[in-house]
Amino acid sequence: MASSFLQQVADYMRTRRYAKRTIETYLHWIRFYILFHKKQHPSQLGNAEVELFLTWLAVERHVAFKTQSSALNALVFLYREFLQQPLSLQLNFNAAKTPPKLPVVLTRVEVGALLRWIDPKYKLVAQLLYGSGLRLMEAVRLRVKDIDFDYLSVMVWQGKGNKNRRVTLASELVPALRQQIIHVERLLDADLQNPVYSGVWLPYALALKNPAAPKQLGWHYLFPSNQLSRDPESKLIRRHHLDETCVRKAIKFAAFQAKIGKNVTCHTLRHSFATHLLESGADIRTVQEQLGHSDVKTTQIYTHVLSRGGNAVKSPLSLLLHGDGGAV
């Protein structure tokens, strides 16, 4: 990182336990903001310059609403937390517009077809995405200890919004998960024979509090990479988790093979989990807790795609064709 200022921001965020991807995203937008204003120091800028930058993103770059929001969050952090110069709560800028997006949901038959076609190496991950409603990164970051076989649940730590939650685990996955843990244990046994192996990465100061933890089975990733790699920060040799890009590609290809004519992504399985839970009669508050949504309004979007037999909205054309109007 060439800029000493950005390095200071990065160090500040790390000491306050911000997620790695959040740090990368915030640094990207802060750097972009500084370059936009001809490399002026942010402490010499303020509300007007932030408004100008955000408006430029929407009007000239035509960024999506979420992209502009990400930039705004980065700058709010910069001024409020790092520079101690909070921005106005009434910023006046052109907001990027985004059309409301409904979730793509698979039928149960389509989910079954997808799981039959997916590469066996990624099947268990996909089953957890659908069976427990996990986000992709939540799934690949699972540690062995996060699987609770006694209570058939999965512990998700530092999920989106840095929240923790417990989600359901399908009992049918227990044998496959036990086999996966045996696979992780075998890799660990081999790694421990390697003198340069430094154990798995642990968050924050946990490795300092428990020096033995990085080489204990429970802390290792449930879905480990096939290869050892060098930690870019510590430069130590570790075994990271499975590359999430591989899972994305596997699900895309499985959907193609299964001839599913929908835009299927990893998140589609999470959408399907929520919708099928509601279809089966689960309370919306329960689904909200399973998904980790802060606001029930976020969960309510799944009620728009439900079709509950007689309660479903009937098309007037159906009434015309099957009612007193006769065939047309």
In the prediction, which pLDDT does 158 show?
Answer: 79
Question: Integer distance in angstroms from the first to the last C-alpha of the chain?
Answer: 69
Are 218 and 144 in contact, with CB atoms under 8 Å apart? yes
> Cα(121)–Cα(248) distance, rounded to whole angstroms?
13
b (16+ CB within 10 A) / e for 199-220: bbbbeeeebeeeeeebebeebb
> Among the options 220, 270, 271, 276, which is catalytic?
270
> Among the options 31, 166, 252, 267, which is catalytic?
267
Residue 106's closest CA among 88, 120, 118, 119? 118
Contacts for 227 with CB less than 8 Å, ≥ 6 apart = 239
Identify whether 270 is a catalytic site residue.
Answer: yes
Identify whether 101 is a catalytic site residue.
Answer: no
Amino acid at 68: Q
Identify whether 18 is a catalytic site residue.
Answer: no
Q: What is the pTM of this model?
A: 0.79
> Cα(25)–Cα(21) distance, rounded to whole angstroms?
6
> Among the options 79, 130, 135, 220, which is catalytic?
135
Identify whether 302 is a catalytic site residue.
Answer: yes
In the prediction, which pLDDT does 308 show?
Answer: 47
Residues of the chain with pLDDT under 70: 1-2, 97-100, 204-205, 304-328
> Among the options 220, 238, 271, 293, which is catalytic?
293
> Among the options 160, 165, 215, 248, which is catalytic?
160
Identify whether 267 is a catalytic site residue.
Answer: yes
CA triplet 305, 309, 315: central angle to 5 degrees?
70
What 3-state DSSP class applies to 237?
Answer: strand
How many alpha carbons fall within 13 Å on the CB side of residue 284?
A: 12
**What DSSP designation does 326 have?**
-
> Cα(205)–Cα(126) distance, rounded to whole angstroms?
32
Identify whether 304 is a catalytic site residue.
Answer: no
- Specify the DSSP element, H or E, that contains 230: strand 229-230
CA dihedral 133, 139, 145, 148 (to 10 degrees): 20
What 3-state DSSP class applies to 148?
Answer: strand
